[in-house]
Structures are given as C-alpha cells and as structure tokens.
Amino acid sequence: MEAAARNAVAHHLAAADLNPTCLPPSAILLIRSLRDPLPGRLAVSRAAASVDQRWQQELRSSVACIARTAVRPAQGRIRGSPEAIVFADDAELLACILLDLADAGRQTPWWREAVARQIPQSAMLDLLGKHIELLPPIFRLLAGWDSIERIALTLEPQQALQLCERLAMGFDLHAVACALSQIHAPDGRRGDVPIEPQSEERADRAGAAPIVGPANLSGERENSTHSLLPALNPCRRWFATSNPRLTVEHQVLIAMALGMETSLAEMSSPGFAPSLTHWMLWSRSSDEAWSGPAANHHFHPELEDDTASSGVAADAQSFDEMPFANATDDRFGRGATPIRRRDRPLTAEAPLSAATRLDVHPQINNDYQTTWDVDGVTTHLGGVFFLINLLERLGLPDCFEADCRLASAVGAFGTLECVARALVPHAAARLRADPVWEVLAKLDRREPGSPPRSAGLCCDELRLPHAWFDDFDRIDAAALGRSLSPSAQCISAIAALRGFGWPQPLLTWLLFVTPFLEWRLHQAFGTTLDEAAPAGTPESGNSFLQLLARVYVSEAHIDVVTSVENVNLAVRMAGLDRSPGWVKSLQRVVLFHFE
C-alpha cells in the first residue's frame, strides 16, 4: 500500500505545474525535502481526474519560497548540505557533477543521488559522451573555475581522443573527426568510438588529407631518412599549457571545447584537420614540441608572433598553408554554399563552412569573463532573437565564409547584432540604449559598447548566395539583386553606426545584404516593399523586433520570456517566433516562452 501511495503522489506531482516564476526557465532547482502544504487534501489515488487546484497553488508557493533562498554553486562546488540548490542550466549541473566525481573518496551528496536516475554517473567518459553538445559550455565553466586541467587529467589519453572524435562529429567537423580517427593513442590501441573507419579516398572526399609521414598512426617513429616538418600547435589560441601531465590528446580536447564558441568556422576550414593531426604526430615524435607558456586557458596575442623563435616557417601560421593542408573542395563554387532545406518557413540548419584562410586571427577577447544575472534582463527589443530563425534559414554567417570570412571574422553573435542594428530604428534613443545590445556583446565575448570584431573581414567582392533564392522558383536572382536598394531605415542605421566608429568592412557588408533581408522579411509577412509603411512606424516590417520581454542567458541556454498577448500572427505564420532549439553556430539552446 505504501508503494502504491508513493506512486500516486509521484503521479500527481508530475502533473502539477510547480515551476517558480522567480527562476529562469532553464534553471534546475533541486529540493532535498518538501512538506505537504495542505495535509490530507491530496487524494492518494491515481484515479483522481486532476490535481486539486488549491493544493497545487499552495505547493507552488512553497516551492517559490524555497527557490528564493536556495544555494548557488560557488566555483562549481556545493558547500555543506543545503536544503535546496539552484543550477543555472544543465551544463552547470553536469560541470558540478564532474567536479564532485573528481573528489574521490567523498560520500555521494544528496543532490547527486537525486539526479542519478536521469543522469547516470558511473564513469566520467560516459557522462561527457552522452551530452557531447554540452561539452563546450561545461569546459568553459570548468576553465572559469580553474579546474579544467584537473578534470581532463581524470581521462586516459585514449578517452580524451574518443571525446575529441565525438565532439567533432557532434559539431559537423567531419574532416577533423576523420583525421582523428586515424590516430592511435600512445599505447597503440583504438577505442570503441562509434565512428566508421574511412579509407584515404573517403577521407579526401570528406576534406581531410590522408596522414602521411615518418610517424605511423600510433605515433611511433618508423625507420626512415625523412622526418616530420616542425609544426605549431593550431589550437594554441584557445588553450596553452606547460603542464607536463597533459598529453597531446588532453590539450586538443580542451582547446577544441574552449574554441568551439568563437572559432567553429576556423575548425571547419580544410587546413585545420591536417594541421592538427600533423602537430599531434610531430609532438609525439619530438621532445621539442611547442607546448606554450605557463598554464593559461586564454588567448594571448603575443603567442601569435612566436614563429621566429620556434624555428617554424612564418607561412605555417596559416592553416591552409601548413603541411598536408591542400585538400580543398570547390565543387559548389564561391558564393554558392549549399544549404540543407526544410519545409518550414524561415528555418534551416546552417551549412558547413567553406574554405577559409586563417592567417588573420579574429579579435576574440577570451580574457573577458562573462557572468550572467540569474534574474535576467528586461528589454524592449526581445524580437531581435527572432532573427536567429532568419539567420539559420539563410545559413548566416557561414554562407559568406568563402567570399569574405564572415563566420570566422565576425562570428554568429556578431552577425546577429549587425543585422539587428541595421533593422532597428536608431532614431529612438531608448532603443539605442536598450540592454539587448549589452547582452549580445557579452555573448560575443566583447566589452559592452564595442562593435563586433572584424579583423580579417574582406568585402572586396560580394555576391548573394544562390541558395537564398531556392524558395523562389520564378525569381531572377541577378535581376532582383540589381533592383534592391537600401531603404531609408537601412541608410540611417548604417550612418549612425559609422558615427559610433564601426569598422568600414562591417558597414560595407551590411549595406550590401540588408536590402535582401528586408525584402525576405516582407516576403515572409506577405507584403511588398511598396506596400510597407515607412520604416520605424508600428506598421512597418521591422516592428516585430520591438517586443517587451525578459531575457535569461546562461552558458548553454538563451530563454526569451514574453506575454502571450504579444503573439503576432504574421510573425507566427512566418515561423520567426518558433523556438530554434539547439543552435550549433551559437552554441546554445534558444527557446521562446509565451506566458
């Protein structure tokens, strides 16, 4: 009878709405014990049609009171034995579990037991492997807590290599995964990573040059009169260490995880995979392998000018010019990046990046530490995040990587801010000073108030991607491109950005692409440019950007919460307010909530 009563209570609790409004939607609240607010009122039977409304309201109030006093992790650790704990998201929860697992010999705390059924914790490799899309935010948190090397060292080199392969596959870095699958750990054994072995012919088609040289695939030297050319670590911008305990596999795992957020396009370049494997093999075969300065998890510009002292040719700094970095794929031509289509309007997965040159590194401020307010930020431009669906549908910023290096030079969040700035009216002072711009800058790892990075952005030759016109069978793309001209809103916005000191390459790209974006939005809303009201008026096509909302950001999530009364039928029909879910280019789960 006791088991039946317990199951009945669990059934009613699962059906009840107990989410406290004082917490972000993606927050995880763990409560050690919860008293019945109205003893005897809840029917201990699963036959009850619904949960008693008064009992549910009282229980929700009790949960809200506990949430307000719940403990937050401090540097990834839970001090003492609190009655309730709040984690910002699932990435922070997993990071805290990893730290607790690393503290061997400690008794399992109650909060880990509470989530053991949903998150098996038998082995750290399994824990990370089953949540591979969360590995980058987990490692960013661990780096901020100065614990990333400690966690990495709990993995064997072969296990670290397995995670590298899974990480590459999870983020569509097929050339990198193919190259890593050909490398054996120092003990010469292969793990049971579920990646199909690829021949040299298939590896070349995937964009990775076959690994050749005096070092065989297990990293051991063969009897040869030749030797591997010296190599720089292509991951040194994201992670550098002098810790002798960290193997090559550990360093690559940490560097790839930390670099995913801002440098995914660079890892997609044809030269990165062969440069990475060449450096890994050379590092194993040479006692003089470059490993970097004192342990530091952030990029230092002074490391970029070390070729003279390292004995490596200066032109080796460009991934595409390093040895074995000649496996380019130009089947689709420049400006014609393929995009996988969906039937839903204005939504699609971003394509793989085209070939890129990485001899000019973007200005990524990895030393800028971002902290997110658990209370969120109120904005009048919540609709800016609806543009994520538009950018995903068009494949931005990857579709301009071949022509101007938009993805690697500006990045996904920088591109989002550029497009939003061009579409939002700058005449209203309150919109220019809206908190959403600070949120976007922090997401892009920039100081608030600074323009998006643009080092390496080249706009000498621009063309609209052919894939942008796939949804319109009877439209002459060339004729449309010639007929489109910047609107008064676009010209005004770009003039304002020029006055704020934005770099000219960004303004050139915006002036080129914004007319099409405006035309595409009008097509989605079922209007034409001639029918549209003047820009900035309530009836104009960009008025959907002006949305009162509360934005919650964490390392793995972006939640935009607004009133259900703000639902716009035209926006809903266009698919702009549909939750994108996990967005690879942004490294976050993006959800829209209407309450």
Interval 338-354: pLDDT, tens? 322 223 333 233 332 33
One domain, residues 390 and 290: no
One domain, residues 408 and 547: yes
End-of-domain residue from the set 68, 88, 119: 68
One domain, residues 513 and 434: yes
125 lies in some domain: no
Quote the distance between the C-alpha of residue 328 and its chain's center.
25
State which residues form the domain around 32.
2-68
pLDDT single digits (tens) 164-193: 999 999 999 999 999 999 886 444 444 443
One domain, residues 385 and 309: no
Longest CA span, the chain: 85
Hey, which residues does 215 pair with through a beta bridge? 221
**For position 43, what pLDDT does the model report?**
65
What average pLDDT score do residues 193-208 get?
40
One domain, residues 202 and 282: yes
One domain, residues 64 and 159: no
390 lies in some domain: yes
Q: What is the DSSP string of 9-75?
A: HHHHHHHS----TTS-TT-EEEES----SSTTTS-SSTT-SS--HHHHHHHHHHHHHHHHTPBPPBT
Give the whole-number percent of the chain exceeding pLDDT 70.
72
One domain, residues 273 and 408: no
468 lies in some domain: no
135 lies in some domain: no
285 lies in some domain: yes
> β-strand 557-562 against 588-594: which pairing, if any?
parallel
One domain, residues 434 and 573: yes
Hey, which residues does 77 pair with through a beta bridge? 74
87 lies in some domain: no
One domain, residues 399 and 282: no
End-of-domain residue from the set 38, 68, 98: 68
**Quick one: pLDDT band at residue 152, thresholds 50, 70, 90?**
very high
Q: How many domains in the chain?
A: 3
pLDDT at 288 over 80: no
295 lies in some domain: yes
One domain, residues 383 and 300: no
**For position 534, what pLDDT does the model report?**
42
pLDDT single digits (tens) 483-523: 788 888 899 999 999 999 999 999 999 999 999 999 999 88
What average pLDDT score do residues 310-333 get?
34
What average pLDDT score do residues 578-592 get?
96
Give the whole-number percent of the chain exceeding pLDDT 90.
51
Which of helix, strand or coil describes residue 264? helix
99 lies in some domain: no
One domain, residues 431 and 544: yes
**For position 373, what pLDDT does the model report?**
83
Looking up tokens 């993805």 gives: 407
What lies within 8 Å, CB to CB, of 291 at 6+ separation is 233, 240, 241, 242, 251, 283
End-of-domain residue from the set 68, 103, 119: 68
One domain, residues 178 and 252: yes
**For position 28, what pLDDT does the model report?**
95
